[in-house]
Amino acid sequence: MPAKPIKAAVRTLQTTRNAARGALLWGYEQRLTREVKAHGKLPRHLGLILDGNRRFARAAGLQRELGHSFGAEKAHEVLQWCLELGIPAATIWVLSTDNSSREPDELAHILGLLEQEARKLATDPRIHANRVRVRAIGQHADFPPAVLVALRELEERTAHYDGMRLNIAVGYGGREEIVDAVKTHLERQAQAGLTLAEVADRLTPEHISAHLYAADIPDPDFIIRTSGEIRLSGFMLWQSVYSEYYFCDVYWPGFRRVDFLRALRDFQGRDRRFGR
């Protein structure tokens, strides 16, 4: 048989196989969706550690900056999944305090993306239709002015909403959050006229919890980390004491709805004992 007909036949076979795989994956996704919805138990507060952007780009032979760009698009997609399922609150960790040591051009790209995505969210019809309240948590004093303006405008435009709560953790570190909470508590007690000895004598865990960045929403009951790393890296250290964890091997930009649903199904099958 001539070479051209053989190549055409091979391409046709590959196309057919890909279509079949796609159909099977779609069917599996639909079944998972039905199972998760039928069970009904969903996290009240979902934590997402978005890890693996640079490794995704490297594996695909792309510039590392493109990994962050693909990761930003994936965050929009996952937001949609959360809205569809009715998850009340989510915190996505975009940039840690440790990331400030990255090369200047990479850090500038990440901050530029942050500004761009904040402005996009501020006008996103889904945000307003679902009354999503968005807040940036972390230490932002060293961010460029344009980034600070974009984050502030996003928060102001959604501050009155009573739907899903979305926290964007940027310039965030769990240790830094605890230190900031302690500082705030000490300052307020000093303003009330208490001595350091009196504050120390009365101090309880609830005093620290009251001054965390997102103190007005429940602690995360489920935390997903992508990329295969099995550690928290400081994500919500105080709040995650009783959280359930799920570590997914896929890099963040490649995180599929099937992966998301599998994680939720795993959560639904757990018996939470809160340390007991």
Domain ranges for the chain: 1-39, 41-268
Strand partners of residue 133: 165
Mean pLDDT value of segment 31-40: 93
Helix H or strand E segment including 267 = helix 257-268
- Give the per-residue pLDDT at 233: 94
18 is an annotated ligand-binding site residue: no
225 is an annotated ligand-binding site residue: yes
- Give the per-residue pLDDT at 20: 61
Neighbours of 85 (CB within 10 A): 16
Per-residue pLDDT band at 9 (split at 50, 70, 90)? very low
- Give the per-residue pLDDT at 16: 52
Helix H or strand E segment including 178 = helix 174-191
64 is an annotated ligand-binding site residue: yes
- Give the per-residue pLDDT at 10: 44
The residues that are catalytic are 51, 99
167 is an annotated ligand-binding site residue: no
User: Where are any strands of DSSP class E within 97-207?
Assistant: 133-137, 165-172
Per-residue pLDDT band at 11 (split at 50, 70, 90)? low
Q: Across 37-41, 103-107, 163-167, which has the greatest mean pLDDT?
A: 163-167
Q: What is the pLDDT of residues 191-241, one digit of tens each?
A: 999 999 999 999 999 999 999 999 999 999 999 999 999 999 999 999 999
For residue 67, give the 3-state DSSP assignment: helix
Higher pLDDT, 106 or 274: 106
Q: Rounded distance, CA 231 to CA 254, Å?
A: 20
- Give the per-residue pLDDT at 148: 97
**CATH code assigned to 41-268:** 3.40.1180.10
Place of tokens 């890890």: 51
Structural contact between residues 255 and 70, judged by C-beta atoms closer than 8 angstroms: no
**DSSP string of the chain, one letter each residue:** --HHHHHHHHHHHHHHHHHHHHHHHHHHHHHHHHHHHHH----SEEEEE---HHHHHHHTT--HHHHHHHHHHHHHHHHHHHHHHT--EEEEEEEEGGGGGS-HHHHHHHHHHHHHHHHHHHT-HHHHHTT-EEEEES--TTS-HHHHHHHHHHHHHHTT--S-EEEEEEEE-HHHHHHHHHHHHHHHHHHTT--HHHHHHH--HHHHHTTSTTTTSPPPSEEEE-TT--S-TTTTTTGGGG-EEEE-SS-GGG--HHHHHHHHHHHHT----TT-
34 is an annotated ligand-binding site residue: no
pLDDT above 70: residue 166: yes
pLDDT above 90: residue 85: yes
pLDDT above 80: residue 258: yes
98 is an annotated ligand-binding site residue: yes
pLDDT above 70: residue 157: yes
53 is an annotated ligand-binding site residue: yes
pTM comes to: 0.89
